[in-house]
């Protein structure tokens, strides 16, 4: 009979626990009447038996083992994963080949190709006769890619004697922070090609040579204040830093060329690689109006005068009054543009065009010109000169004390009388005097277009005080540059016609075509008769009757004027020291040369006739001789100056 159901032991699924008779604690053994399905069939007539508590097995059951999937399942998973990977790769390949091919090709080419700038030769600067004052030179620079230098100490030791540098200094330049990935550093610059070849011969890893723009000034300090200097600008490009180098930088610099070449990862050219090149176009050259020998003489003369008079500085200007050509423009102190140091900073620039000063008595010629041109005076007009006058509450005296004097207008100019000049200016009037000053070019730049050129200071007549209306007539209370004042005298020497000063005579292009710098038409300021009368009056200055006998040039007629101006004190206000000067031209009967000498704050002597006139004589004599100017055959009778004699 049926005795009940079997149940599975929860502790051991492989063991059957019966709830009917005949079930035994070991469910995995065979018993009579047990069917594989777990049902128990007892013998006929037997009584059903219910087992008691089942005892635990004597050994712990083994952990359940997990079986891997079937081979077919593993194959399916592998195929799916492989398809996914191939799909990703396919998409990436499609992106590279189809959408970004040109971008990545360009990047690859950029890594392989290297661009080298081929510097254009900068145009030369010469004097009027073609003597070179500035020229382009081929230079080299040694650089390093620190990431490619394996032996820093050894590389520095090999380079030191060739570059004339210390091993330690080179080692410091080669040692960089790896995190910054610096791949370019200069080791030496401005080298000659032969030094660069010696460096190349060393065959040092990570060391390279590149071309550099170079500029040299064969005559060193000669005309440095005019020519200017070079400096390293944006992108380390050599450019004009002052003077004509700056003013004509775009004309001189030319157009750089380019060279594209294949290089290995270290940046070294592959000899068999492709190369493309665009030739540089040289810059144009400047031919100046300067005359080298006259410039040299003027420079030495002004330097000697500054030294002997213990002046703070000085300047000399030499001009051709007929054309406005500047034959010399010299400053002291000077500098060497080949080797500029911190000490040279005050000397950089051009005093003649930059520094404005109160011109003093050299300005009296404009007051006289205004009166003569308006017919208010003649050279013989009698003038009574008292010991002093008062204007605007200011006492005005002459440089030397005197009693009442009786002079002609020519005598007022020859003796440089402040009192007589004020009285003549009052005949002209404020408005007339201002018009005359401006017509001669004061209060405005000359048109030279030189970097840093000043315009001086000339207040409007309506703003003049009572004393200023008087002092401006003899050059105090206003200011001008040396070039402006030289232009004033050039106007008189040129028959009353003012021409624009110029420094550049011609520009020669890279194709050899010469373009002469055009000269604007002159402007008449005073009549030819007024200019001639003024010239005769100025001749009396450079005689024993005038204030500058030391300005006389043997064999030539000289017309000129002294100036002894008070020097403004920029720190404490008022005046401190003097600015002596002399401006003149020769030969007076056919002017060919104008010379101006200005000294700033000399400590030994301060009258223009004492310290500036001798320098004028030295510079003018040399210029007339150098230019081959003939001496006059006749001399006119002297003018009447003093009515008391």
Residue 271: CB atoms within 10 A of its CB come to: 8
Q: pLDDT over 90 for what percent of the chain?
A: 59
| DSSP H/E element including 487 | helix 482-493
Q: Can you give the pLDDT at residue 36?
A: 45
Q: Where are the domains of the chain?
A: 1-44, 115-288, 292-333+351-627
Phi/psi of residue 262, nearest 5 degrees: -85, 135
Q: Can you give the pLDDT at residue 110?
A: 58
Q: Which of 188, 185, 187, 193 is nearest to 139 (CA)?
A: 193
pTM for the complete prediction? Answer: 0.78
Mean pLDDT of the chain: 86
Q: Give tens-digit pLDDT for 113-122.
A: 667 778 889 9
DSSP state of 217: -
| DSSP H/E element including 207 | strand 207-216
CA distance 295 to 317: 9
- Cβ atoms of 283 and 120 within 8 Å: the answer is yes
Q: Can you give the pLDDT at residue 174?
A: 86
Q: Can you give the pLDDT at residue 107?
A: 60
Q: Can you give the pLDDT at residue 551?
A: 95
| Better-scored residue on pLDDT, 1 or 595 | 595
Residue 91: CB atoms within 10 A of its CB come to: 10
Q: Which residues of 355-384 are buried (b: 16+ CB within 10 A; e: fewer)?
A: bbbbbbbbbbbbbbbbbbbeeebebebebe
| Better-scored residue on pLDDT, 24 or 398 | 398
Q: Can you give the pLDDT at residue 16?
A: 43
Residue 405: CB atoms within 10 A of its CB come to: 20
In this predicted structure, the answer to whether residue 467 has a pLDDT above a threshold of 80 is: yes
In this predicted structure, the answer to whether residue 54 has a pLDDT above a threshold of 90 is: no
In this predicted structure, the answer to whether residue 365 has a pLDDT above a threshold of 50 is: yes
Q: Can you give the pLDDT at residue 208?
A: 87
Q: Which of 216, 245, 213, 214 is nearest to 228 (CA)?
A: 245
The alpha carbon of residue 174 and the mean position of all alpha carbons in its chain are separated, in whole angstroms, by: 29
Q: Can you give the pLDDT at residue 214?
A: 86
Catalytic residue selected from 219, 284, 309, 361:
361
pLDDT confidence tier of residue 573, bands split at 50, 70 and 90: confident
pLDDT confidence tier of residue 27, bands split at 50, 70 and 90: very low
Q: Can you give the pLDDT at residue 87?
A: 82
**CATH number of the domain at 115-288, out of 1.20.120.160, 1.10.3720.10, 2.40.50.140, 3.90.1310.10?**
3.90.1310.10
Q: Is 242 helix (H, G, I), strand (E, B) or coil?
A: strand
Q: Can you give the pLDDT at residue 305?
A: 97
Q: Can you give the pLDDT at residue 21?
A: 43
pLDDT confidence tier of residue 2, bands split at 50, 70 and 90: very low
* CATH class held by domain 292-333+351-627: alpha beta
- Cβ atoms of 186 and 141 within 8 Å: the answer is yes
- Cβ atoms of 176 and 182 within 8 Å: the answer is yes
Tokens of 173: 């330049």
Cis ω before 197 (30° cut-off from 0): no
pLDDT confidence tier of residue 41, bands split at 50, 70 and 90: very low
Q: Is 341 helix (H, G, I), strand (E, B) or coil?
A: coil
Q: Can you give the pLDDT at residue 84?
A: 84
In this predicted structure, the answer to whether residue 561 has a pLDDT above a threshold of 50 is: yes
pLDDT confidence tier of residue 105, bands split at 50, 70 and 90: low
Told to judge if 361 belongs to the known catalytic residues of this protein, a careful annotator would answer: yes
Q: Can you give the pLDDT at residue 39?
A: 46
In this predicted structure, the answer to whether residue 6 has a pLDDT above a threshold of 50 is: no
The mean-pLDDT minimum among 29-38, 81-90, 128-137, 170-179 falls in 29-38
Most confident of 68-82, 143-157, 571-585: 571-585
Across the range 440-455, mean pLDDT stands at 95
Across the range 580-592, mean pLDDT stands at 97
């Amino acid at each position: 009979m049926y005795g009940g159901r079997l149940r599975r032991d929860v502790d051991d699924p492989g063991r059957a626990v019966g709830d009917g008779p005949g079930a035994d604690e070991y469910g995995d053994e065979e018993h009579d009447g047990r069917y594989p399905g777990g049902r128990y069939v007892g013998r006929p007539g037997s009584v059903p038996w219910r087992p008691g508590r089942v005892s635990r097995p004597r050994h712990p059951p083994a952990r359940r083992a997990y079986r891997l999937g079937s081979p077919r399942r593993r194959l399916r998973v592998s195929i799916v994963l492989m398809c996914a990977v191939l799909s990703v790769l396919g998409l990436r390949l499609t992106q590279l080949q189809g959408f970004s091919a040109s971008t990545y090709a360009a990047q690859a080419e950029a890594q392989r190709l290297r661009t080298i700038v081929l510097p254009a030769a900068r145009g030369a600067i010469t004097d009027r006769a073609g003597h070179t004052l500035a020229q382009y030179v081929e230079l080299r620079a040694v650089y390093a890619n620190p990431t490619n230098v394996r032996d820093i100490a050894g590389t520095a030791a090999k380079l030191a004697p060739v570059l004339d540098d210390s091993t330690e200094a080179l080692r410091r330049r080669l040692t960089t922070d790896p995190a910054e990935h610096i791949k370019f550093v200069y080791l030496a610059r401005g080298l000659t090609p032969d030094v660069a070849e010696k460096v190349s011969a060393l065959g040092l890893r990570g060391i390279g040579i590149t071309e550099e723009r170079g500029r040299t000034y064969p005559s060193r300090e000669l005309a440095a204040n005019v020519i200017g200097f070079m400096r390293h600008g944006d992108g380390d490009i050599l450019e004009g830093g002052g003077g004509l180098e700056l003013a004509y930088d775009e004309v001189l610099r030319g157009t750089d060329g380019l060279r594209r070449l294949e290089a290995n990862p270290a940046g070294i050219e592959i000899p068999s690689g492709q190369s493309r090149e665009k030739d540089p176009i040289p810059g144009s050259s400047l031919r100046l109006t300067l005359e080298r020998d006259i410039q040299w003489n003027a420079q030495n003369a002004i330097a000697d005068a500054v030294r002997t008079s213990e002046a703070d500085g000085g300047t000399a200007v030499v001009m051709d009054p007929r054309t406005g050509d500047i034959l010399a423009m010299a400053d002291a102190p000077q500098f060497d543009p080949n080797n500029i140091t911190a000490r040279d900073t005050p000397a950089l620039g051009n005093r003649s065009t930059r520094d404005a000063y109160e011109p003093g008595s050299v300005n009296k010629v404009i007051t006289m010109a205004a009166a003569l041109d308006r017919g208010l005076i003649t050279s013989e007009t009698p003038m009574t000169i008292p010991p002093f006058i008062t204007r605007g509450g200011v006492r005005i005296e002459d440089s030397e004390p005197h009693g009442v004097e009786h002079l002609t207008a020519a005598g007022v100019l020859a003796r440089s009388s402040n009192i007589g000049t004020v009285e003549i200016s009052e005949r002209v009037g404020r408005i007339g005097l201002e018009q005359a000053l401006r017509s001669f070019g004061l209060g405005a730049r000359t048109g030279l277009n030189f970097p840093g050129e000043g315009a001086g200071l000339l207040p409007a007549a309506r703003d003049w005080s009572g004393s200023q209306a008087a002092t401006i007539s003899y050059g105090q209370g206003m200011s001008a540059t040396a070039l402006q004042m030289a232009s004033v005298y050039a106007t008189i020497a040129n028959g009353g016609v003012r021409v624009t000063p110029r420094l550049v005579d011609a520009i020669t292009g890279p194709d050899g075509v010469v373009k002469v710098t055009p000269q604007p038409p002159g402007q008449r300021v005073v009549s030819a008769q007024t200019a001639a009368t003024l010239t005769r009056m100025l001749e009396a200055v450079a005689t024993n009757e005038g204030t500058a006998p030391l300005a006389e040039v043997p064999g030539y007629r000289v017309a000129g004027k002294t100036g002894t101006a008070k020097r403004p004190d920029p720190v404490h206000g008022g005046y401190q020291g003097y600015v002596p000067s002399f401006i003149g031209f020769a030969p007076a009967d056919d002017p060919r040369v104008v010379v101006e000498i200005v000294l700033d704050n000399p400590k030994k002597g301060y009258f223009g006739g004492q310290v500036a006139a001798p320098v004028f004589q030295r510079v003018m004599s040399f210029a007339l001789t150098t230019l081959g100017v003939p001496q006059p055959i006749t001399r006119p009778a002297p003018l009447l100056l003093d009515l008391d004699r």
